[in-house]
């Protein structure tokens, strides 16, 4: 197998095909990816196996959303010639590492993960979730470590997952690579560890609230503005953002959900300051005055994305070509990592080669 020789630091992040991408993805992760693809070796995973944790009964929809998310990536400016876009299920090393890593984490430690708890509550899963649902948190450690990534550009909700990943890396390096439990996190690889300890790279908008004004904007919570929404739909959804404010002369809270949109999407910062000031004083400015301005700003951001997305509409072959090239490149790195990990854990008996036809 060829050794992967890019000298740039590696980045891994991605999305679950539980639907299409929305503004939360853009401000929370994709915007940062666009900067990083200039300077880093970027891997973007479509976590389709993880989509089965909540959508196992909808396999055809998951498959469709994989392709749609790639279109969303291209629309937002991810360049497949510089970044590697791939499917989780086409990189078997990830599943193999998941199994191994599951042995390194106490069951109760996984179940204490606050993001899992939030998801169980927000999706109303009660105690009906599958065995595989919490396993996805372990799987995500394998997504990241299979690429020996140094950083992971994500929204705030993913920070507990990255912490779990750091714990797995620490434990593996200590158990199987002879790294001392006194070693500083940054020194693990220098001391012979297979896995660097990755850091979460959370940007200025780590949690964009949804149009319900309460919960995180999420594909699964029916509160999202999608990249594919038309200008009219964007306007309508923003008009629904609820703040509870009653009148234009009532002093408003410029830290509410609507103002997160003002701060995030209106580019003219003098205008933002003016809106904040008048809103806080209740200077005859209603939510209904501000929402059309926010919608205009969001539509200005989405217009070039809609145009670029149009180029790939209906052309599944072009998307599959991008994915196939991405999966080949992802397997080169992930197979190399798996080989190193199996070697360290006395699991390596033979060399193997993985190839698509
Ligand atoms: P699901 O409802 O299936 O959990 P999601 O909308 O939460 O979907 P994910 O695929 O879980 O999206 O998240 C992909 C990436 O986008 C993660 O890094 C996540 O932190 C980020 N992200 C998702 N929603 C938001 C948001 N509202 N604000 C900021 N970042 C977000
Ligand atoms: Mg999520």
DSSP string over 279-325: HHHT-S--HHHHHHHHHHHHHHHHHHHHHHHHTTTT-HHHHHHHHHH
Helices (H), 178-252: 231-239
The answer on 46 and 119 residing in a single domain is yes
Band (pLDDT 50/70/90 cuts) for residue 2 is very low
Upper half-sphere CA count for residue 290 (Cβ side, 13 Å): 34
The answer on 155 and 39 residing in a single domain is yes
The answer on 25 and 133 residing in a single domain is yes
197 within 8 A of 188, measured Cβ to Cβ: yes
The answer on 283 and 187 residing in a single domain is no
Task: With CA atoms as reference, report the closest residue to 154 among 9, 11, 10, 13.
Answer: 13
Average pLDDT of 130-154? 96
Three-state DSSP state, 153? strand
The answer on 236 and 203 residing in a single domain is no
Three-state DSSP state, 11? strand
Is residue 131 predicted with pLDDT exceeding 80?
yes
Rounded CA separation 327/89 (Å)? 9
Distance between alpha carbon 336 and the CA centroid of its chain, in Å?
24
Average pLDDT of 12-17? 97
- Which CATH number do you get for residue 282? 1.10.240.10
The answer on 83 and 115 residing in a single domain is yes
pLDDT at 4: 53
What share of the chain in percent tops pLDDT 90? 92
In a domain, 64, yes or no: yes
The CB of 41 under 6 Å from ligand 1? The reply is no
Look at 7 and 144; give whichever has higher pLDDT.
144
Nearest CA to ligand 1 atom 7: 218
In a domain, 219, yes or no: no
The answer on 249 and 129 residing in a single domain is no
pLDDT digit string (tens) for 305-338? 999 999 999 889 999 999 999 999 999 999 999 9
Residue with tokens 């300077």: 39
The answer on 283 and 248 residing in a single domain is yes
Domain with 253 in it: 231-310
Ligand located closest to 62 CA: 1
Mean confidence (pLDDT) of the chain? 95
Residue with tokens 């020194």: 187
The answer on 322 and 304 residing in a single domain is no
Segment (H or E) for 86: strand 84-87
The answer on 297 and 189 residing in a single domain is no
- Which CATH number do you get for residue 116? 3.40.50.620
In a domain, 20, yes or no: yes
Q: What is this structure's pTM?
A: 0.94
What share of the chain in percent tops pLDDT 70? 99
37 within 8 A of 82, measured Cβ to Cβ: yes
Distance between alpha carbon 192 and the CA centroid of its chain, in Å?
30
Rounded CA separation 143/140 (Å)? 5
CA of 155 to the centre of ligand 2 (A): 9
Rounded CA separation 22/19 (Å)? 9
Structure tokens at 139: 């799987």
Test site for ligand 1: of 11, 13, 15, most ligand atoms within 8 A of the Cβ = 15
Beta bridge partners of 226: 22
pLDDT at 183: 97
Distance between alpha carbon 326 and the CA centroid of its chain, in Å?
17
In a domain, 4, yes or no: no
Average pLDDT of 37-46? 96
342 within 8 A of 348, measured Cβ to Cβ: yes
Q: What atom in ligand 1 is closest to the CA of residue 216?
A: 27
The answer on 300 and 154 residing in a single domain is no
Rounded CA separation 323/198 (Å)? 25
The answer on 325 and 300 residing in a single domain is no
pLDDT at 3: 44
CA of 221 to the centre of ligand 2 (A): 10
In a domain, 88, yes or no: yes
Task: With CA atoms as reference, report the closest residue to 97 among 131, 140, 159, 154.
Answer: 140
Ligand located closest to 158 CA: 1
The CB of 211 under 6 Å from ligand 1? The reply is no
Is residue 5 predicted with pLDDT exceeding 80?
no
**Domains in the chain, number:** 2
In a domain, 191, yes or no: yes
Band (pLDDT 50/70/90 cuts) for residue 122 is confident
The CB of 25 under 6 Å from ligand 1? The reply is yes
24 within 8 A of 72, measured Cβ to Cβ: no
Distance between alpha carbon 314 and the CA centroid of its chain, in Å?
25
Rounded CA separation 217/225 (Å)? 8
Band (pLDDT 50/70/90 cuts) for residue 48 is very high
In a domain, 3, yes or no: no
Measured on CA atoms in the order 269, 271, 274, 279, is the torsion positive or negative?
negative
Rounded CA separation 229/202 (Å)? 26
Band (pLDDT 50/70/90 cuts) for residue 280 is very high
70-79, 91-100, 211-220, 301-310, range with the lowest pLDDT: 211-220
328 within 8 A of 356, measured Cβ to Cβ: yes
In a domain, 214, yes or no: no
Average pLDDT of 63-90? 97
pLDDT digit string (tens) for 157-206? 999 999 999 999 999 999 999 999 999 999 999 999 999 999 999 989 99
């Amino acid at each position: 197998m060829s050794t992967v020789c890019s000298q740039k630091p590696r980045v891994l992040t991605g999305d679950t095909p539980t639907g299409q991408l929305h503004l939360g993805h853009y401000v929370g992760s994709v915007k940062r990816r666009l900067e990083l693809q200039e300077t880093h070796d970027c891997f973007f995973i479509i976590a389709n196996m993880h989509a089965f944790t909540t959508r196992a009964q909808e396999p055809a929809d998951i498959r469709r959303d994989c392709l749609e998310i790639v279109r969303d990536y291209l629309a937002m400016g991810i360049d497949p010639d510089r970044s590697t876009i791939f499917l989780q299920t086409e990189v078997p090393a990830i599943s193999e590492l998941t199994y191994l890593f599951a042995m390194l984490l106490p069951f109760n430690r996984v179940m204490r993960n606050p993001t899992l708890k939030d998801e169980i509550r927000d999706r109303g899963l009660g105690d009906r979730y599958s065995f595989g649902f919490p396993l996805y948190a372990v799987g995500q450690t394998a997504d990241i470590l299979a690429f020996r990534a140094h950083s992971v550009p994500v929204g705030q909700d993913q920070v507990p997952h990255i912490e779990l990943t750091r714990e797995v890396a620490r434990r593996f390096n200590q158990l199987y690579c002879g790294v001392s439990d006194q070693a500083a996190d940054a020194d693990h690889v220098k001391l012979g560890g297979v896995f660097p300890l990755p850091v979460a790279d959370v940007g200025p908008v780590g949690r964009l609230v949804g149009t319900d004004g309460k919960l995180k904007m999420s594909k699964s919570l029916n509160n999202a503005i999608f990249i594919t929404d038309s200008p009219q739909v964007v306007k309508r959804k923003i008009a629904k953002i609820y703040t509870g404010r009653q009148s234009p002369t009532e002093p408003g809270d410029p830290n509410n959900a609507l103002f997160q949109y003002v701060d995030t999407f209106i580019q003219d910062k003098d205008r933002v300051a003016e809106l904040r000031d008048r809103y806080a004083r209740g200077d005859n400015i209603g939510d209904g005055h501000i929402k059309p301005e926010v919608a205009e700003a969001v539509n200005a951001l989405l217009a070039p994305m809609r145009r670029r997305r149009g180029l790939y509409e209906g052309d599944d072959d072009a998307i599959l070509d991008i994915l196939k090239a991405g999966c080949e490149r992802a397997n080169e790195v992930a197979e190399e990592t798996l080989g190193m990990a199996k070697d360290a854990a006395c699991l390596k008996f033979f060399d193997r080669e993985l190839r698509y036809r």
